[in-house]
Amino acid sequence: MDEKRGPNFSWLVKMAWRDSRRNRSRLFLFVSSIILGIAAMVAIYSLGDNMSEEVDRQAASLLGADLMIGSGKQVSPAIQKMVDSLGDRRSEQRMFPSMIYFSKTNKTRLVQVRALGGEFPYYGALETVPSSAGKTFRNGQAALVDQTMMLQYDAKVGDSIKIGNVSFVVAGTLINAPGQTGLSASVAPPVYIPLQYLEQTGLSQKGSRIVTQFFFKFDEPVNMEKLVDDIEPRLDIEGMSYETVETQKQNTARSLEDLTDFLSLVSFIALLLGCVGVASAIHIYVREKIKSVAILRCLGAKGRQAFLIYLIQIVVVGFIGSLAGAALGTIIQQFLPIAFKDFLPIKVTAEFSWSAIGQGLLLGIVISFLFALAPLVSIRKISPLNTLRLSFQRFSLFKDPVKWLVYLAIIGFIWAFCYLQIKEVQESIGFSIVIVIAFLILVGSAALLMWTVRRFFPNRWNYLWRQGLANLYRPNNQTTILIVAIGLGTAIICTLFSIRAILLNRIQLTAQGNRSNTILFDIQPQQKDSVIALAKQFNLPVEGTVPVVNMRLEKVNNITGEVLRKDSTIKMRRGLFDREYRVTFRDSLISSEKITKGRWSGKREGPSGTVFISLDENYATNNSIKIGDTLTFNVQGAVISTIVGSFRKVDWGRVQTNFLVLFPTGVLEEAPMFHVLVTRIESKDVSARLQQQMVQRFPNVTIIDLSAVLNIVSNIIDKVGFIIRFMAAFSIFTGLIVLIASVMISKYQRIQESVLLRTIGASRKQIFYITALEYFFLGALAAATGMFLSLGISFLVAKFMFETEFILKWVPLLIVFVSVCFLTVFIGLINSRAVVTRPPLEILREEV
């Protein structure tokens, strides 16, 4: 006999199969935790693939033309000449915010007016109802109005709206325009009017915030790359931008990739949660298998062989779980384009994605393998001596370096996965650290709970309470896994609620007390007195108006926009020279600002004196601008050289006329300007009437009503929140599955002692109470830990990200707390009902 010959791989597979006979449903229960995580990943990957294909397919209709050139400032004659020479067909669009007045209902609304001339879009269409309206509105004094706004303002096709000085007939409802998303439409709903009426509206005066876009169609194929290379230097000088089909495709693909990467990371949390469930379940499974492994070792099996038998089981079951997850993900994927429609600039059709399914399967196998490996490596160390004395040994994490390697591999895997999504080393390290810290906090809370209960055990409590409490730390307890699983799910949901409350509170704060809540923009100098008079007719508090001058920054010391573009070592933000600056001048500071560095004089000393300006300190720091630097501005043709005299800290959260750049008096008084008026309107009725009269008499004046802004922000948060809730649902349901799996696994652990208690006389009611109390303690602590974790995260977000006050809304958190406790107890009792309702012997024979 050949002594060196041993069992081959097929025997290991056979043994894995044999060993699984009595455990298959339980093994499947282990991996059921990862099904939802894999489903979420496959669904998101599929959506990503579908979107990428659609972007390729619809690239031209995203832009609507072969080339677009755009600018936020007046087009120079040189550029106009260049524009006239480009393309076979051309369209021009001018976009600006303005008030719209619905004649039928006497209501007003801030919209984005798009004055369109030409046949744009050349690819795709302006989707309208009726469908012909997208073309016919250009032929007369007609407009296309965003569909949501039509519904909100009870407007119908054929109604009349007024923009500036001109009334338009609503020719159609605008369903979609090239490159538009539901989200962008809800912030500033678009209204299309023919370009030829723009002048008559009176809204295109000098100084108005108009963005001009030119769209070009080339009938013959053109080398677009070469064309863009030719015109780019000229566009750069004029601060203009361009888009081609290719750049639009890249930009859209990149932003969609960002969306899917973000969603993948959220799904990944659900998957990780499931993996913790798998690891915990396998840990218990291995403990139950000590005897079988010891027998095999006793009969001559090597440690590696015993380990492989169980590894094969886990990988196969992990594969089956991943397969189920991939199938579920493919079903969920069908609904994602509907769920995310507000965020997508293209129509996405759900199509089967083999690569997404492949990635999901691979991820499922790798992750179930990695997370099962930590408890499985212990099998190598099970001594055959356990056949003689069970519980001969206890596993110690610290004694097995392989376990540490496995934990390192898990952290490495989390980082690698994050890196593949974010493509940023530091951010992915940060994300991994946050995940590890969150897990550690939850694991630490569980350990602390067990220690506290044991240390300060209430010996005088009623027996049932003591028994329920003691179950939290006794051997085979589920405290750690349940607190991690339920706590993490709760933390995600509570963080969502808290951040929503913080954001809304930040805006509501600005409208509280006697603070201003309405801003009137674009008041022309000749309208100033009349506007103030009108406001006073409504008894509104008005303390004059604030002048605003539009200008561009040409140089910081000797650095121009061109120099900045070419020299990547200069630490200034790209948009520094491209943006239009709205600047005011005054001789004193207002309550929302204070000088933090330098000196503010407020007045220019004589007509030829140095102009000392004051900058917002964050703006200056971000662009490496120091006190004493020279900033050269172009005020609509006139060049003004200034010196940075001081920095200010500005409270941007207050509704006041705050500015990045503040000029002293004696410089800009003769420059083209408009005025802004800030006031407070107490009632909605007064606000509506003022807006109506203002739009009728001063149609160029834009009114921002803070309550309307609040509605918009609330709407955006709801839409973003829906996506996060949708993704968080995977974590929550995974948490529930982990809970069910943990309870069912712990049932096998608990069953003997429950049956023993019943045998020695415990009533069903007493067992019921003990079980209910144990799960209540678990649910309550897990939910509380999750809530406190979320409060910590929300506090940090409020303080450092939004730089606002942290507020606590207890009601939604309490609802989450009560729901989580109830669900935990409910699931715990449902799964333990056999112990309560059936005769002890029957259960012992069947289960043990």
Identify which of residues 180 and 387 has a Cβ nearer to another protein in the complex.
Answer: 387
Identify which of residues 19 and 616 has a Cβ nearer to another protein in the complex.
Answer: 19
The three-class DSSP label of residue 465 is helix
CB 847 → another protein: shortest distance, Å? 11
Identify which of residues 301 and 823 has a Cβ nearer to another protein in the complex.
Answer: 301
Identify which of residues 260 and 305 has a Cβ nearer to another protein in the complex.
Answer: 305
Identify which of residues 226 and 845 has a Cβ nearer to another protein in the complex.
Answer: 845
Chain centroid to CA 375: how far? 35
Question: For residue 77, what is the enclosing H or E element?
Answer: helix 77-85
CA separation for the pair 438, 456 (Å, rounded)? 26
CA separation for the pair 304, 562 (Å, rounded)? 66
Identify which of residues 4 and 455 has a Cβ nearer to another protein in the complex.
Answer: 4
CB 294 → another protein: shortest distance, Å? 8
Identify which of residues 79 and 312 has a Cβ nearer to another protein in the complex.
Answer: 312
Of 450, 486, 88, 438, the residue nearest 280 (C-alpha): 486
Identify which of residues 19 and 705 has a Cβ nearer to another protein in the complex.
Answer: 19
Cβ proximity of 570 and 564 under 8 Å:
yes
CB 9 → another protein: shortest distance, Å? 11
CB 444 → another protein: shortest distance, Å? 27
Cβ proximity of 172 and 157 under 8 Å:
yes
CB 771 → another protein: shortest distance, Å? 27
Identify which of residues 290 and 662 has a Cβ nearer to another protein in the complex.
Answer: 290
Cβ proximity of 61 and 124 under 8 Å:
yes
CB 309 → another protein: shortest distance, Å? 11
Identify which of residues 313 and 516 has a Cβ nearer to another protein in the complex.
Answer: 313
Tokens at residue 835, please? 């112990």
Identify which of residues 206 and 302 has a Cβ nearer to another protein in the complex.
Answer: 302
CB 752 → another protein: shortest distance, Å? 16
Cβ proximity of 432 and 440 under 8 Å:
no
CB 385 → another protein: shortest distance, Å? 5
CA separation for the pair 42, 35 (Å, rounded)? 10
Q: What is the number of alpha carbons within 13 Å of residue 462 lying toward its C-beta?
A: 7
CB 740 → another protein: shortest distance, Å? 24
The three-class DSSP label of residue 125 is coil
Identify which of residues 24 and 649 has a Cβ nearer to another protein in the complex.
Answer: 24
Identify which of residues 300 and 541 has a Cβ nearer to another protein in the complex.
Answer: 300
Tokens at residue 528, please? 């100033």
CB 35 → another protein: shortest distance, Å? 25
Tokens at residue 472, please? 């939290």
Any idea which residue has 């790209």 for tokens?
A: 574
Any idea which residue has 């507000």 for tokens?
A: 342
DSSP string, 395-449: --GGG-HHHHHHHHHHHHHHHHHHHHHH--HHHHHHHHHHHHHHHHHHHHHHHHH
Q: What is the number of alpha carbons within 13 Å of residue 394 lying toward its C-beta?
A: 4
CB 394 → another protein: shortest distance, Å? 13
CB 295 → another protein: shortest distance, Å? 5
CB 473 → another protein: shortest distance, Å? 21
Of 590, 579, 635, the residue nearest 611 (C-alpha): 635
CB 421 → another protein: shortest distance, Å? 41
Backbone Cα Rg of the chain: 34
DSSP string, 166-183: EEEEEEEEEEE-TT--HH
Identify which of residues 254 and 302 has a Cβ nearer to another protein in the complex.
Answer: 302
CB 10 → another protein: shortest distance, Å? 10
Tokens at residue 214, please? 């030119």
Q: Which residues bind another protein (CB under 8 A)?
A: 1, 3, 5-8, 11, 15, 18-23, 291-292, 294-305, 383-385, 387-389
Sequence-distant (6+) residues with CB within 8 A of 238 are 71, 73, 76, 78, 79
Tokens at residue 310, please? 């169980």
Identify which of residues 396 and 452 has a Cβ nearer to another protein in the complex.
Answer: 396
CB 846 → another protein: shortest distance, Å? 10
DSSP string, 359-380: HHHHHHHHHHHHHHHHHHGGGG
Identify which of residues 257 and 847 has a Cβ nearer to another protein in the complex.
Answer: 847
Q: Exposed, middle or buried: residue 193 (CB in 10 Å: 0-12, 13-18, 19+)?
A: buried
CA separation for the pair 378, 95 (Å, rounded)? 67
Identify which of residues 11 and 463 has a Cβ nearer to another protein in the complex.
Answer: 11
Question: For residue 757, what is the enclosing H or E element?
Answer: helix 706-759
CB 773 → another protein: shortest distance, Å? 33
Cβ proximity of 550 and 581 under 8 Å:
yes
Of 717, 694, 696, the residue nearest 705 (C-alpha): 694
At how many degrees (to 10) do helices 528-537 and 684-697 cross?
Answer: 150
Question: For residue 226, what is the enclosing H or E element?
Answer: helix 224-237
The three-class DSSP label of residue 278 is helix
CA separation for the pair 252, 702 (Å, rounded)? 31
Instruction: List beta partners, residue 215.
Output: 68, 91
